[in-house]
Amino acid sequence: MDLALFDLDHTLLPIDSDYEWGRFLARVGAVDEAHQQLENDRFYRDYQAGTLDIGAFLAFQLAPLAAFPPAQLRQWHDQFMAEVIAPALRPAAHALVARHRDRGDLCAIITATNEFVTAPIAQRFGIEHLIATLVERSGEGYTGKPTGVPSFREGKIIRLDQWLASRGTRLSDFPRSTFYSDSANDIALLERVTDPVATNPDSKLAAVALARGWRTLALFE
């Protein structure tokens, strides 16, 4: 059995689900629109530049989860899936996942975006396994804080190794391991797999992929 790992935002999706979730919350009046847009844009620029302070970002991004009851959050997320995610699902991304699934590969989404936002999206792709930034819980609700190692940059390697260890295996046990990602933030993990695929790559990753002879894939126009 081989391993297939997929980044989510701008890889399987042509949008950033974390960024769009913040915009959605502003649209429904859950957060202040002007402040949300200002911070959303600032953190996204830092992410693209490779300078994101993941702790500061998570403190900002997860805070709304602690401010509302779980039932309200679930209702909003259902609406978010219908209005934002569903229109962004593309046949080419579904077909890519299906090819690996049909071959019997072990498939997982590995993303820095938190589990609250991404778990229903992974289900829509038919991917059972999700390695996402974990959100601390308090009873049925959330504290607004992350827990464990965020699955961001080198943290993706740590979280992947932890997940594989929980299954009694290691990355080196797989004859082939493929990782699809769009971002230079994921170069560390791309270097670890046997088959790195720069998927809809940003300019920095595209240059690295060209220099190292990595396969490049364009799922979206």
* Residue 117: pLDDT over 90: yes
Question: What average pLDDT does this structure show over 158-168?
Answer: 98
Q: What is the mean pLDDT of residues 203-221?
A: 96
Phi, psi dihedrals of residue 24, rounded to the nearest 5°: -65, -45
pLDDT of residue 133: 98
Rounded average pLDDT over 140-151: 95
pLDDT at 213 over 90: yes
Say how many domains are in the chain.
1
| Residue 91 to residue 220: CA distance in whole angstroms | 10
Q: Is the pLDDT of residue 188 over 80?
A: yes
CA distance 48 to 70: 31
Distance between CA atoms of residues 37 and 66, nearest Å: 20
- Please give the helix or strand (H or E) that residue 71 lies within, else none: helix 70-80
- Indicate whether 127 pLDDT > 90: yes
The predicted structure's pLDDT at residue 50: 87
Q: Given pLDDT bands bounded at 50, 70 and 90, which one contains residue 221?
A: confident
Q: What is the pLDDT of residue 72?
A: 97
Per mean pLDDT, which range of 43-47, 123-127, 192-196 is the poorest? 43-47
d(CA 143, CA 217): 39
The domain that holds 79 is classified in CATH as: 3.40.50.1000
The pLDDT of residue 70 is 95
- pLDDT at 122 (0 to 100): 98
The per-residue pLDDT for range 24-82, each reduced to its tens digit, is: 999 999 999 999 999 989 998 998 888 999 999 999 999 999 999 999 999 999 999 99
Catalytic residues: 7, 9
Pairing mode of beta strands 215-217, 3-6: unpaired
Instruction: State which residues form the domain around 63.
Output: 3-217
Please provide the average confidence, as pLDDT, over all residues in the chain: 96
Contact 217, 180 (CB under 8 A): yes
Tell me, what amino acid is at 94? Answer: H
Phi and psi of 16, rounded to 5°? -105, 110
Q: Is 126 helix (H, G, I), strand (E, B) or coil?
A: coil
